[in-house]
Chain A
Amino acid sequence: MQTRYDQADVRRLLDHWVDQVAAGFSTKEPLIVVGIRTRGETLAQRITPMLVDRGFEKITRGVLDITLYRDDLSEIGPRPMVRPTHIETDINSKPLLLVDDVLFTGRTVRAAMDALADFGRPSAIRLAALVDRGGRELPIQADFVSLVQKDVPMSHRVKVKLAETDGADEILIEPRNAG
């Protein structure tokens, strides 16, 4: 199992990923790109100009915080900060792309879809996940994936680092308590 993807690797993965996404939508139609906080948002910011380069003229971007929609809220314990959600446009009847860094159990995506339901009814919701590490607990799949790594043990985590927030692009597969 490869445990490290450096900057060059990540750039390649991103290009491949955006190519897939571009192929999945019509460039002439509006497209709403919504990143799931926190890294999904950074990725959405990164790929939006890349999509514009590939001919998309009517892209709008939003950010979704799913903390309030988690299904483990009945469990007692401190939560991450609730940050605001910003979805400016009317999402009804338009295609919407959800963007996240790692697809794992599927619960984050389920929460995201619940949240979106309170905003409106897109014509279609597609999921772009940079890494699919398997381990699904719900019947949820990504439409666009660049790196499939299904043999990551439960004791390890997949960490996506991005230049904008972490200094450099990198994907690490490391034991959970490392660092």
Chain B
Amino acid sequence: MSESTEVRWTRKHLLGLEELSVDEISLVLDTALSFKEVSTRSVKKVPALRGRVMVNAFFEDSTRTRTSFALAAQRLSADILDFSEKTSSTSKGETLIDTARNIEAMGVDIIVLRHKAAGSAHLLARSVKCSVVNAGDGAHEHPTQGLLDLYTIRERFGRIEGLKVAIVGDVANSRVARSNIWALTKFGAKVFLVGPPTLLSKSFEQLGCNVVHSFDSIVGDMDVINMLRVQFERIQSSQFPSVREFTRMYGLTWDRFQRCKKDVFVMHPGPMNRGIEIQSDIADGPQSGILTQVTNGLAVRMAVLYLVSQVGGQS
């Protein structure tokens, strides 16, 4: 693993990967490596964030990301507040900023925010004095997911540069796709976005990606295939006709899998719709990195919480 010796983490917030440099991302990944070791001990805790308070402010449902952040905080000995608000803040009358300021007034060091509106983490960061970590803002970014995906690929292949990585599915509405695009292109991977034109616009080419509408045309060439979750709301808004058609054209079926490279690495941010975007035996098989992603997610989130907590004061 490369060492980034003189790079220091100076950001109070983690809002996205678009603005991070290669050095900064490397610093997070190298720090995550150390934290991965913590989870192998019998006492899976370090006192690094003792006395600090982290709030999980989740305005959108999510068990896995929320528990991942909660566990990461616990392993750093931080205290955790859980704030789950499934309905939109505006419908309850209190704005996001008001809610955040109320939470902050209770003495909080880090707010981890998941929200359905793009840019909500930026809005929060402008409005509070504590640190903000974006756990997913609408379709904009999910930086810790991008980081853990990058980490997982690097762990598997020893490098990122030159790898052919496919991201398949509902790209237009996916924050996971966007964060992955930033991470992968910065490190020199060749990114192939795969999906129907209604879920994948040509303008993604200007971000340095290949836009492909036929999964079959590239499936045999890929080193990594990252399957996105199918969101069924897209059928109602006519972005694709049916689940069956989607699986036929874009699912990682057993047939397609046979045509992949022998050592292809299959990933999925979860939760999976088994049998829809991915067959069960592929997801559970030896080529799958899905559970590793979860393990790495914990280490990456510990690294992120640790790093942002060092940067205090007004930004």
In-complex A–B contact (CB below 8 Å): yes
Give me the interface of A with B, judged by CB distance under 8 Å.
65, 67-69, 73-74, 76-79, 81-86, 114-115, 117-120
B34 engages A82 (CB within 8 Å): yes
How many Å lie between the Cα of A120 and that of B43 in the bound state?
Answer: 9
Q: A78-B310, A83-B34 known; A120 and B42 CB under 8 Å?
A: yes
A81 CB to closest chain B CB (Å) equals 7
User: Are B34 and A84 neighbours in the complex by a CB distance under 8 Å?
Assistant: yes
Residues of B within 8 A of A65 (CB): 34
- Name the residue of chain B whose CB is nearest to the CB of A69: B47
Q: How far is the CA of A115 from the CA of B303 in the complex (A)?
A: 18
CB-CB under 8 A for A78 and B9, given A68-B46, A85-B34, A118-B43: yes
For B36, the closest partner residue in chain A by CB is A84
CB-CB nearest in chain B for A111: B47
With A and B bound together, what is the CA distance between A150 and B264 in angstroms? Answer: 61
Is B45 close to A, CB under 8 A?
yes
Count, A-B residue pairs, CB within 8 A: 58
Q: A68-B47, A74-B51 are in contact. List 20 more A-B contacts (CB 8 A).
A: A68-B34, A68-B48, A73-B47, A78-B8, A78-B10, A78-B310, A81-B4, A81-B5, A81-B27, A81-B31, A82-B35, A82-B306, A83-B34, A84-B34, A114-B47, A118-B41, A118-B42, A118-B45, A118-B46, A119-B43
A82-B306, A84-B34, A85-B37 given as contacts; is B47 within 8 A of A76 (CB)?
Answer: no
Chain B contacts of A67 at CB under 8 A?
A: 48
B contacts, CB < 8 Å to A:
3-5, 8-10, 27, 30-31, 33-38, 41-43, 45-51, 303, 306, 310-313
Contact of B42 (CB < 8 Å), options: A84, A114, A119: A119
Q: Are B37 and A86 in contact (CB under 8 A)?
A: yes
Contact B311 A76 (CB under 8 A): yes
Residues of chain B within 8 A (CB-CB) of A78 are 8-10, 310-311
**What are the residues of chain A within 8 A of B51 when measuring CB–CB?**
74
Q: Which residue of B lies closest to A79 (CB)?
A: B310
Shortest CB-to-CB span from A113 to chain B, Å, is 13
A-B contact pairs, 15 of them (CB 8 A): A67-B48, A68-B38, A68-B46, A68-B47, A69-B46, A74-B51, A76-B310, A76-B312, A81-B27, A81-B30, A82-B35, A118-B45, A119-B41, A119-B42, A119-B43
Minimal beta-carbon separation of A101 from chain B (angstroms):
19
- Chain B residues with CB under 8 A of A79: 310
* Of A69, A118, A120, most B-chain CB atoms within 10 Å: A118
| Assembly CA distance A84 to B39 (angstroms) | 12
Chain B residues near A85: list those with CB within 8 A. Answer: 34, 37
Residues of A within 8 A of B31 (CB): 81-82
Determine how close the nearest CB of chain A comes to the CB of B160; give it in whole angstroms: 20
Question: How far apart are the CA atoms of A148 and B276 in the complex, in Å?
Answer: 70
CA distance A9 to B38 in the complex (A): 39
CB contacts (< 8 Å) of A69 on chain B: these are 46-48
- Which residue of chain A has the shortest Cβ distance to B46 in the bound complex? A68
Residue of A nearest to B1 (CB): A84
- Nearest residue (CB) in A for B4 is A81
Residue of B nearest to A73 (CB): B48
- Of the residues A84, A114, A118, A120, contact of B33 by C-beta under 8 Å: A84
- How many angstroms between the C-alpha atoms of A120 and B41 in the bound complex? 10
Q: How far is the CA of A177 from the CA of B130 in the complex (A)?
A: 34
Report the separation of the CA atoms of residues A79 and B312 in the bound assembly, to the nearest whole angstrom: 13
**A68-B46, A69-B47, A118-B43 given as contacts; is B34 within 8 A of A76 (CB)?**
no
Closest partner residue, chain B, to A90 (CB atom): B42
Query: For residue B7, which residue of chain A has the nearest CB?
Result: A81
- Could you say which residues of chain B place their CB within 8 Å of the CB of A77? 310
Cα separation A118 to B37 with both chains bound (whole Å): 12
